Structure 1
Amino acid sequence: MKENSPLRKLRLLIKGIFSQSMKELGEVRKALTFFLYKLIKTVYVHLHVRKLTKKMMEAKNYKEWEETGKEMDGVLRNNKWKAEMRSRNYDYKNVNYMYLFLKELRRNDLAHGLTYTLRSNLCKNMYGIANPVLYE
């Protein structure tokens, strides 16, 4: 058998593992288990996202596309920000206030006020909404 053959290396590795203490073996086992878990999870997520992307591209209408997009957000964990409004990257209090104000204008059918408010506020990076960190 060659000195540097893969089979020899494997035998040496196995021999080395069996000569280690049980505590060291436990650490190796934990590390391998963690690595395998991460690998399987990454492959699963990648394949699931590919499937959902294809489904979104083949959607027949907006509702179907939106539902698939929400499912993809769940798989990629991109929906966590919806549950927690607080952020250091924008002024979340004023953004929420503006959202409620615009909603009220729309409900009362005040198109002129809605247009004026949108034009005068959103074009100016108001409340930090154009922060590049938000779009990474």
Structure 2
Amino acid sequence: MKQLDVQILHQSYLLTCPEGHEERLLEAVSRVNDTMARIRDAGKVRSRERVAVLAALNMAFDIVTAERAPAPVAEPVEQPDEAEEDPEAADAWAQAMIQQQADAQRIVALLERLDQALETDAQLL
């Protein structure tokens, strides 16, 4: 294990990480420091503890959003073989594809609305 002395909002922390992971830890420290500084500099939150909680929530929200984002479809889904011979199956397949696209658009729109709403979350406390 390796120990690193880092600074987050001008406070020193001695952190331990596995050998070879120092660069990743320093990147994580940089992200936390930047997020906390952005929240603190917004002006309404001064408590280091509240700034840290808001930063953790912002970062966790970003992770959850990325995990739940619809995966881009590299290739269109092929129409099933039975749909070529059966007009009802072809229609059902087409309706399913339209619904899937509409659902994906609604999810993206909802995520954008959540991002906009959370941009000002530092002002809530």
State the TM-score, normalized to the length of structure 2: 0.38
State the TM-score, normalized to the length of structure 1: 0.35
Q: By percentage of residues, which structure has more strand?
A: 2
